[in-house]
Amino acid sequence: MGLSLNQIRENCANARELMERAKKEKFAVGAFNLDNQETLIAVARAAKKTNSPVLVEVSAGEVKAIGIENVRDMVDNYKAEYGIEMYVNLDHSPSVEDAIAGIEAGFEFIHIDVSQANHDASDDEIVDATKEVVEYAKFTGALVESEPHYFGGSSNVHTEAFDFNEIKKTFSTPDGAKNFVDVTGIDTFAAAIGNLHGSYPVPKVLDIDLLKKIRGAIDCNISLHGGSGTPGHYFEEAVKVGVQKININSDMRKAYRTTLEKVLKENKTEYAVVKLMDEVITEVQAVVESKIALFNSSGKAKV
C-alpha cells in the first residue's frame, strides 16, 4: 500500500506526542516483537481490549523473513482494522544503511545498534553511526534510540543462568548516559540496569536506584530492553521513575511455541495449521495484556 511522506511525518509526530504523554502520565509503551502475522494479531487484539498504545518491532531477522515494506503494510492494515494506536520500531538495526531503510519505509521508531553486529565497535564508531541516523531521521521525524555499548543476551528462552556480576560490568552510568545523549542527540536512551535479552532460569534484578540517577541525568526518553523474565514489580517501579518504552519478545515466543506444540499434539490429523492458531494467538495476547497492565498503559491510547 505504501504511505505518503506527509502520512509518515504525521505518524512520526503522533509518535513523538505519545512519548511526551508517557513522560507526563507515567506509563511505558510496550514494544512487542512481531515474528509473524499471528503475533501481530495478538498484539493488535491486546491493544484494542486494553485501549493501550503499542509498538510492534522487528529486528534484522524478522525484516529478512517478512520484508520491511510488508511489515509496514501489515501494521497499517491491522491498525486500521482494529482502530488502535500502533507504531513500528526497527529494533537493533545493525548498520546505518539498515536504519535508513527503516526511516524510508516509514517506521516511527528506529534503534541504531552497530555494537550488535560488531561487539568490538569503538566508541567513535557507535557515536558517528548514531549521529548519522539522528540527522537522517529529521527527514521524517522518526525517533532514534541508541546506547553507547553492546547489550548482552539474546531473544530466546535460555536454560543457562547468567552471571550477575558480569552483567553489572555493562551497566549504564548517569555520566555516560548524559554524555552519549548530549553528543548524539538521540530521542531515547536504552538503559542497562540489570535487564538482559532473553528469559533465564533465574529472575532478573533491576537496579532501580541506578535508574533514578540516570533519569535525573538525562531529559530524553528511556527504554528498557530485555523485559522478558523480569519480575513485574520492577516494571511498576521503573515506570514510576520514568521509563517510556519496554521491550518484550521471549515471553511471547515461549507462549507461542508451547501453545503451538500443544495444539499440534492434540490435532495430529489436521494439516491446515492456520485452523489451529486461535489458541496460540489467545495465549500470546494474554502475555501482551499482562505486560500492558504492568506498564500502566491501559486506557492511554489516543485514536
Q: What is the predicted pLDDT for the residue at 169? A: 75
* Residue 160 confidence (pLDDT): 62
What is the DSSP-derived secondary structure letter of residue 95?
S
DSSP one-letter code for 149: S
Q: Could you tell me the CATH number of the domain that includes residue 244?
A: 3.20.20.70
Residue 256 lies inside a defined structural domain of this protein: no
List CB contacts of 30: < 8 A, sequence separation 6 or more: 52, 54, 55, 246, 248, 288, 291, 292, 295, 297
What does the alpha-carbon distance between residue 127 and residue 267 come to, in Å, rounded to a whole number?
A: 52
Q: What is the DSSP string of 43-88?
A: HHHHHHHHT--EEEEE-HHHHHHH-HHHHHHHHHHHHHHHT--EEE
Structural domain for 46, as ranges: 5-251+287-295
Q: Is residue 270 part of a domain?
A: no
Q: Classify residue 279: in a domain, yes or no.
A: no
22 within a domain of the structure (yes/no): yes
Say if 162 falls within a structural domain. yes
Closest CA to 97 of 67, 132, 125: 132
Task: Provide the domain count of the chain.
Answer: 1
Residue 104 in grid coordinates: 524510508
- Select from 239, 149, 247, 163 the least CA-distant residue to 200: 163
Assess contact for 263 and 279: CB atoms under 8 A. yes
| Grid cell listed for 121 | 565497535
Domain assignment present for residue 267? The answer is no
Residue 66 lies in a domain: yes
18, three cell numbers: 505519545
Q: Is 9 helix (H, G, I), strand (E, B) or coil?
A: helix
Q: Looking at 91, 98, 187, 251, which residue is catalytic?
A: 91
Q: In which residue are the cell numbers 552483567 written?
A: 167
pLDDT, position 99? 98
10-residue mean pLDDT profile of the chain (303 residues): values are 92 98 98 96 98 97 96 98 98 96 98 87 94 98 91 58 69 96 98 76 83 98 90 96 96 96 98 97 98 98 94
91 is a catalytic site residue: yes
pLDDT on residue 204:
75
> What pLDDT is recorded for position 154?
54
The pLDDT of residue 227:
83
| In-domain check, residue 96 | yes
List b or e across 53-64, with b for residues whose CB sees 16 or more CB atoms inside 10 angstroms. Answer: bbbbbbbbebbe
Q: Report the run of H or E that residue 145 belongs to, with start and end.
A: strand 143-146
pLDDT value of residue 158? 52
Classified as helix, coil or strand, 34 is coil
The size of the chain, in residues, is 303
- pLDDT at position 13 is 98
